[in-house]
């Protein structure tokens, strides 16, 4: 089970992910609503894993991912993209993302992906 | 006509599974007694599968349905002949299935070159490696879109469908004119599940949470909804055909007898 930071600009998606991850026994150590906040919260909380939305105001998910990886190359980040943003996935992989989930998602598959990334 | 190779199978006959043999040639198959039938693959109009069995519907004067059970190797050969020769809309294409499962990109999935056959109740993809069937009544979305393939943005048909209670996305890639024919055909074949109703934001959020696997009490907590308000949203989802009742759960309160039982059980545990 891991300590997880959830990053998404909509409260609805953050709450949904929080419920899914909590039901899988994970500890939600923090939330962030944009990329800049995500980078700051990562430094502060040092979570085992981050779920990172791609499209966010101010600093987007890819930029936040790059900043987190620059500060901690071992950081484990799973990107959350909407359907149709698959091109972003390649960019995210190049930038060091360990996994990706596509919205809308189903709880068991999210938990499976989180487990895979945490155990890698 | 090539030589027929005989293999042991079971066929359904008058409600019972009967052991028999089946001859397989390149253009037809034969089912021995008690059916004694020869069926040309080109006369097949529909193909479905269940675990270890295929259901073949052959056309002609009155449709006949054959249920055949056998080992996977035999069924794969029969299915391949049928898909490549049956009376169906067929095209050569590349496909990727499954590409996304439950919102998670499937690792190591790749484009496969093969044949797609659109039959009465399902779409079949067949390649050297795979045989995939998507039932038309389990298709949840069709979209003509583009996808980056080998550094190029190419037109593809995206098919969302259910497979063993999971939402799966598959892609088909072929020349645009063929894609449009496939897209139009699938749109028409799945017209019944098209959403025409106006869905208000709250109902949409509830639907999204149900999709993600949340139960009623979690949804109430997440959206700060009273039980009767969530029930009203459920009713609207049911009325519009977007949802179906899975089960009805009761909310209860204890009777005086129940309260007495609890009081006594607490007392005895303290003792």
Q: Which residues of A touch B (CB under 8 A)?
A: 12, 15-16, 19-20, 83-84, 86-87, 89-90, 99-110, 112-113
* pLDDT averaged over every residue in chain B: 89
| CATH level 3 topology of B89-194 | PH-domain like (2.30.29)
pLDDT > 70: percent of chain B: 97
Q: Which domain holds residue A71?
A: 3-115
Residue B63's pLDDT band, with cuts at 50, 70 and 90, is: confident
More confident residue, B91 or B267: B91
- Measured on CA atoms in the order B131, B45, B171, B135, is the torsion positive or negative? negative
Does the fold of domain B89-194 match that of domain B1-87?
yes
Tokens of B12: 């359904």
Three-state secondary-structure class, residue A23 = helix
Residue B255 burial (CB count, 10 A): 9
- How close is the nearest chain B Cα to the Cα of A41, in Å? 23
> Is there a contact between A106 and B166 if contact means CB atoms under 8 Å apart?
yes
> CATH no. for residue A58?
3.40.50.2300
Task: Enter the CATH code of domain B1-87.
Answer: 2.30.29.30
The mean pLDDT of B258-267, rounded to a whole number, is 89
Beta-carbon contacts of A17 under 8 Å, excluding residues fewer than 6 positions away, are A6, A8, A51, A80, A110
Three-state secondary-structure class, residue B125 = strand
Beta-carbon contacts of A58 under 8 Å, excluding residues fewer than 6 positions away, are A34, A35, A36
Closest C-alpha to B9, from B34, B40, B42: B34
Each residue of B159-172: pLDDT tens digit?
A: 999 888 788 999 99
Asked if residue A120 belongs to a domain, the reply is no
Asked if residue A65 belongs to a domain, the reply is yes
Each residue of B77-118: pLDDT tens digit?
A: 999 999 999 988 888 999 999 888 888 888 788 899 999 998
DSSP label at residue B151: T
Q: Which of B166, B213, B219, B221 to mutate to test the interface with A (most CBs of A within 10 A)?
A: B213
Counted domains in chain A: 1
Query: What does the alpha-carbon distance between residue B81 and residue B76 come to, in Å, rounded to a whole number?
Result: 9
Question: Chain A within 8 Å of B213 (Cβ-Cβ)?
Answer: yes
Residue B271 burial (CB count, 10 A): 5
Distances A43 to A67, A120, B81 between C-alpha atoms, Å:
10, 22, 59
Predicted local confidence at residue B188, as pLDDT: 86
- Report residue A119: phi and psi, to 5°: -90, -5
Each residue of A18-38: pLDDT tens digit?
A: 999 999 999 999 999 999 999
Hey, which residues does B122 pair with through a beta bridge? B135
The mean pLDDT of B27-51, rounded to a whole number, is 92
Asked if residue A61 belongs to a domain, the reply is yes
Predicted local confidence at residue B114, as pLDDT: 93
Query: What does the alpha-carbon distance between residue B41 and residue B32 come to, in Å, rounded to a whole number?
Result: 16
Nearest CA in chain A to B218: A19
Question: Chain A within 8 Å of B230 (Cβ-Cβ)?
Answer: no
Asked if residue A48 belongs to a domain, the reply is yes
Predicted local confidence at residue B269, as pLDDT: 67
Query: What does the alpha-carbon distance between residue B52 and residue B69 come to, in Å, rounded to a whole number?
Result: 6
On whether ipTM exceeds 0.90, the answer is no
Query: What does the alpha-carbon distance between residue A18 and residue B184 come to, in Å, rounded to a whole number?
Result: 40
Hey, which residues does B113 pair with through a beta bridge? B94
């Amino acid at each position: 089970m891991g300590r997880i930071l959830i990053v998404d600009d909509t409260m609805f998606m953050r709450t949904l992910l929080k419920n899914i991850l909590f039901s899988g026994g994970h500890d939600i150590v923090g939330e962030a609503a944009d990329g800049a906040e995500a980078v700051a919260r990562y430094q502060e909380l040092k979570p085992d894993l981050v779920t990172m939305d791609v499209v966010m105001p101010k600093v987007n998910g890819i930029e936040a991912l790059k900043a987190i990886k620059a500060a901690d190359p071992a950081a484990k980040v799973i990107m959350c993209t909407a359907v149709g943003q698959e091109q972003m996935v390649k960019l995210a992989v190049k930038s060091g993302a360990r996994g990706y989930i596509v919205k809308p998602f189903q709880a068991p598959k999210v938990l499976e992906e989180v487990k895979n990334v945490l155990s890698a | 006509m090539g030589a027929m190779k005989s293999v042991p199978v079971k066929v359904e006959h008058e409600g019972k599974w009967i052991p028999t043999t089946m001859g397989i040639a390149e253009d037809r198959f034969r089912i021995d007694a008690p059916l004694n039938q020869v069926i040309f693959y080109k006369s097949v109009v529909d193909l479905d599968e269940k675990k270890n069995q295929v259901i073949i519907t052959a056309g002609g004067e009155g449709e006949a349905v054959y249920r055949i059970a056998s080992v996977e190797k035999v069924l794969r050969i029969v299915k391949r002949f049928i898909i490549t020769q049956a009376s169906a809309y067929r095209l050569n294409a590349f496909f990727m299935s499954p590409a996304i499962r439950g919102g998670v990109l499937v690792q190591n999935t790749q484009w496969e070159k093969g044949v797609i056959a659109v039959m009465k109740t399902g779409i079949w993809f067949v390649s050297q490696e795979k045989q995939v069937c998507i039932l038309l009544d389990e298709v949840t979305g069709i979209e003509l879109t583009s996808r980056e393939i080998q550094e190029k943005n190419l037109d593809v048909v995206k098919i969302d469908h259910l497979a063993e209670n999971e939402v799966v996305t598959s892609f088909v890639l072929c020349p645009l004119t063929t894609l449009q024919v496939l897209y139009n055909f699938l749109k028409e074949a799945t017209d019944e599940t098209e959403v025409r109703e106006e869905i208000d934001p709250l109902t949409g959020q509830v639907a999204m949470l149900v999709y993600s696997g949340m139960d009623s009490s979690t949804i109430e907590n997440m959206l700060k909804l009273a039980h009767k308000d969530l029930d009203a949203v459920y009713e609207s989802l049911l009325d519009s055909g977007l949802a179906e009742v899975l089960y009805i759960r009761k909310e209860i309160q204890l009777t005086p007898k129940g309260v007495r039982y609890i009081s006594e059980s607490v007392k005895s545990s303290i003792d």
